Amino acid sequence: MKVLLLAYLLSSGADAITTHYALNHGGREVMWPTQNPWLIDGLTAGQAAATTELVSKLHRSHPRLAITMGVISVVIRGAVVVSNIHQLRKS
């Protein structure tokens, strides 16, 4: 479970980095209602912390569900990072 949570936090960090970089280089954020990269970094960090805490607590009572949610979260964050990189390469 620790490896899964670490993978999620790393993918969240990669999302924040690529989003911040894209916004500073002419990109546009479509998920959040703001274009301020620092605010988006804070929102992403808060979301990552809340998800990590939720999955950790859920793992005690429903381990398979927690692992499934963790894997889905990593995949979604990974897809966002790939999308960010793709948008950067287009510009």
Cα separation of 78 and 43, whole Å? 17
- Burial of residue 47 (CB within 10 Å: 0-12, 13-18, 19+) is middle
Q: Which two tokens stand for residue 12?
A: 């969240």
List, for residues 59-82, the tens digit of each pLDDT value. 999 999 999 999 999 999 999 999
Q: What is the mean pLDDT of residues 12-31?
A: 85
Domain membership of residue 23 as a residue range? 2-90
Can you give the pLDDT at residue 30?
A: 72
pTM of the model: 0.86
Total domains present in the chain: 1
Which pLDDT score, from 0 to 100, does residue 90 have?
80
Instruction: For 25-59, write each residue's pLDDT tens digit.
Output: 877 777 777 888 899 899 999 999 999 999 999 99
pLDDT of residue 27: 76
